[in-house]
Amino acid sequence: MIDTLGTAAGAAVVFAATDIDDIVILTLFFVAARTTGRPRHWQIVSGQYLGIGVLALASAVVAAGLLVVPDPWTGLLGLLPIALGIRALLHRDDDEAPAVVSGVLGVAGVTIANGADNVAVYVPVFRALGPADSAVFLLVFVVLIALWCALGAWLGGHPRVVRLVERAGHWLVPAIFVAIGVVILATSGVLPHLLDLAR
């Protein structure tokens, strides 16, 4: 029991440390759901589960040695939120916050792009764990995704947050997505590789 509790606590720490930035994205999704009707709440939750599930599965496959991921190149996923943010800016309605994505796959895509760096943390963790401990990790992740979505929904329905997004969301929401993409590109180490290729 003590080992299980310790593993569960470790899983909670790993999840919180790697997915704290998802709270911002989930909040924006839920505000968009409130103000524009897109994406729907069930699409946000499903997309978050799908996105984190893909990241966890990819990490387990890499940890098992079945696939080699060229580490810095995952940073190119940062182009997805940048493209979504620019698209939302170009098609913005000054009276409402834009729905940057509108379905399960869009939410999952942003979650995967934002969590690509999580794989670097998950892989060594899964390598160190046995099957039973890995199952505990995944179960904790399932529970915490639900908690993350509930927190994002609460923040997305908070009057101050909604007022802020309604007032400035036509540029703030796309700008946040562009900023997330830039951070992914900058912290992944992919930019020096691209510069080397350009020479």
Q: Report pLDDT digits (tens) over 40-75.
A: 999 999 999 999 999 888 888 887 776 565 566 666
Distance, in Å, from the CA atom of 9 to the CA atom of 3, rounded to the nearest integer, reads 10
CB 12: neighbour CB atoms within 10 A?
A: 16
How many Cα atoms sit within 13 Å of 198 on the Cβ side? 6
Q: What is the DSSP string of 92-115?
A: --TTS---S--SHHHHHHHHHHHH
Measured in residues, the chain has a length of: 199
pLDDT tens sequence across 104-118: 998 998 888 888 777
Residue 179: which of 5, 57, 25, 35 has the closest Cα?
A: 25
Which one-letter amino acid corresponds to residue 94?
Answer: D
DSSP 66: S
pLDDT tens sequence across 10-37: 889 888 888 888 888 898 899 888 888 8
Distance, in Å, from the CA atom of 69 to the CA atom of 46, rounded to the nearest integer, reads 26
Residue 18: which of 153, 138, 122, 109 has the closest Cα?
A: 122
pLDDT attached to residue 145: 94
Its domain, for residue 34, covers 2-198
* Mean pLDDT across the chain: 80
Query: Which single residue is written with the structure tokens 């908070």?
Result: 158
How many domains does the chain divide into? 1
Backbone angles phi, psi at 157, to 5 degrees: -105, 0
CB 128: neighbour CB atoms within 10 A?
A: 10
Residue 142 has pLDDT above 80, yes or no: yes
Prior bond of 72 cis (ω within 30°): no
Distance, in Å, from the CA atom of 170 to the CA atom of 126, rounded to the nearest integer, reads 41
Distance, in Å, from the CA atom of 54 to the CA atom of 141, rounded to the nearest integer, reads 12
